[in-house]
Amino acid sequence: MDSLITAAARALATGDALGALNYIALRDDPPALALRGIAMAQLGDLSRAKILLRRAARSFGPRQAVARARCAVAEAEIALVSRDLNWPVKALDTAHDVLARHGDLANAAHARYLAIRHLLLIGHLDQAERLIEDFDPSALPTASRAGYELAVAGIAIRRLRTSIARAALARAERAARQSRIASLAAEVESAAHVLDTPAARLIARGKVRILRLDDIEALLGSKALVVDACRRVVCHSGKVISLETRPILFALVRALAEAWPGDVSRAELLARAFRAKHADESHRARLRVEIGRLRKALSAAGGIDATKAGFVLVPRRARDVAVLAPPTTKRMRPCSPCWRTAKHGRVPRWRWRSEQVSAPCSAHSTILRRTSRCMRSAAAGPAAG
């Protein structure tokens, strides 16, 4: 491989996209097209980057399967950064198999790491965890290892395992420092701040206080009956009762939990659940029906007793009742696209702010993780497939 390609790849490895383009901007051979695509991705022009990488993949000959697979992995990373979830995931799996079969373990590991990030992005945590269990990150270059640890931290935070998340973020910080990529180090530092920022409000016995993620983990691990307004579930003793698809029942149980140990008047329950300003007999009849449905839904965690004024929540074995609410009363959009989940085709109104960790949010720093492999590939020359 000629010296200009090698010099361009080394410039990309240090984040100097403009310096790399000085070597190869006027060249149209396949290796130069691939490096130009990565340079454009570092500069933020993702559309142009995809075009160049596709041209490079088409230009490599039929015996250069490894080179085409490397281009497919780079294109997959750009699609992931740009949140293009319509990109064919099977192409990434095929590229991984080709790279592993030809002994390119570093790029094969990078392809598997991208698959983990994709699963995390679309909310398939169980599948992502299974891939991580069978994945050896030792083949990843330093910069990609930092991204891998960010993905591990993202899964741990979504599972509310803050100690595991802190350990993963510490490893990500060490890897980012070793890579000497300033934007990557800043990204890891920003992700680490998520653990120390307000994640929810605790409403209990008429008092309100702000909680961090480790506080939420401790609360959900306690014997309290927790009405989680962030996820619209009721938690008790490790069991979760989902009311996400039953908004009226959730509005009723939240009102009862916020007033606990006191009761809530029927008028207030009608206003909270049905937004009824002037209740009539039909509203009161419907309230009785919905309270009956709520009793059935919460039968394992607690009951609802009628009082003279209205109704009161009666936990069965819990010592306390608490409500977890978003940290602000303002209506906000999710913090980043990686908060979205495709499990049921719905986007939750709110989740804990931990999902900022779930995937790197900077296109520039993410594509940097690809450059060290490109430098190695370019210096070695095209491989025969």
Domain boundaries, the chain: 3-195+360-380, 200-326
In the prediction, which pLDDT does 277 show? 75
SS3 48: helix
In the prediction, which pLDDT does 1 show? 56
Domain covering 3-195+360-380, topology: 1.25.40
In the prediction, which pLDDT does 69 show? 93
Kindly state the tokens that stand for 1. Answer: 């491989």
Contacts 24+ apart (CB under 8 A), 351-355: 351/230, 351/231, 352/157, 352/199, 352/200, 352/213, 352/216, 352/230, 353/194, 353/197, 353/198, 353/199, 353/327, 354/154, 354/157, 354/158, 354/165, 354/194, 354/195, 354/199, 354/213, 355/154, 355/157, 355/158
Contacts 24+ apart (CB under 8 A), 217-222: 217/160, 217/161, 217/162, 219/322, 219/324, 220/160, 222/320
Record the pTM. 0.71
Rounded to the nearest 10 degrees, the angle between the axes of helix 30-42 and helix 65-81 is 10
In the prediction, which pLDDT does 2 show? 84
Kindly state the tokens that stand for 345. Answer: 């085709």
CATH 1.10.10.10 correct for 200-326: yes
* DSSP conformational letter for 384: P
Cα–Cα distance for residue pair 65/71, rounded to 1 Å = 10
Distances (CA, A) of 203 to 258, 312, 324: 6, 16, 7
Contacts of residue 20, defined as CB under 8 A and 6 or more positions apart, other chains included, come to 7, 8, 9, 11, 12, 35, 39
In the prediction, which pLDDT does 143 show? 83
- Mean pLDDT, the chain cut into blocks of 10 residues (385 residues total): 86 86 92 92 90 92 90 90 83 92 89 90 89 87 88 90 93 90 87 89 91 91 91 89 93 94 91 82 89 93 91 89 84 40 36 38 40 43 39
